[in-house]
Amino acid sequence: MYFLLADISHPIHCILISEEVPSISIILNERRSNSLKGSILPKKNIRGNFYTHKPTRERPTSWSFENGGTIFSGQAILLKDGKIWHPYQTKIKSHEVNMVIFSALSSKLSKITDNKNILKATSGFFKIGSGCYGGRIYKL
């Protein structure tokens, strides 16, 4: 018997709200084996899938954006109250992070959109919503 390996997804509701332009959000609504999948809202301004990827020994926390054949990626810098989180420190737990900045996201998106609000929002910090819990589903 043969088994097909597939990326199993689980629904979540993680909202990242831009501090620069609060009407721009990133909604992560699907947890996959190695990433969270969602989109940048409002979708009418930019279409595509946005992913956040957990860190590994080989690479830091990262993001990627796919729009048709176009793929962009970069590093995601996680913070708690202005202090940087990384997996090798012990003062901040991963589920305590409350802000993120997506390095180079704005400059890369400028290749496919000239929407000033999208570019301004993606160049700054995003507040991490309470439903995110460091990318994990809240366990009640």
Could you read off the pLDDT of 73-82 as tens digits, one per residue?
Answer: 999 999 999 9
Those residues with Cβ within 8 angstroms of residue 130's Cβ, 6 or more apart along the chain or in another chain: none
Peptide bond into 55 cis (omega under 30): no
pLDDT per residue over 36-61, tens digit each?
999 999 988 889 999 999 888 899 99
Global pTM reads: 0.86
**Residue 87: what pLDDT?**
85
Q: Are 19 and 135 in contact (CB under 8 A)?
A: no
Beta bridge partners of 111: none
What single-letter DSSP state applies at residue 104? T
**What's the whole-number mean pLDDT along residues 21-41?**
93
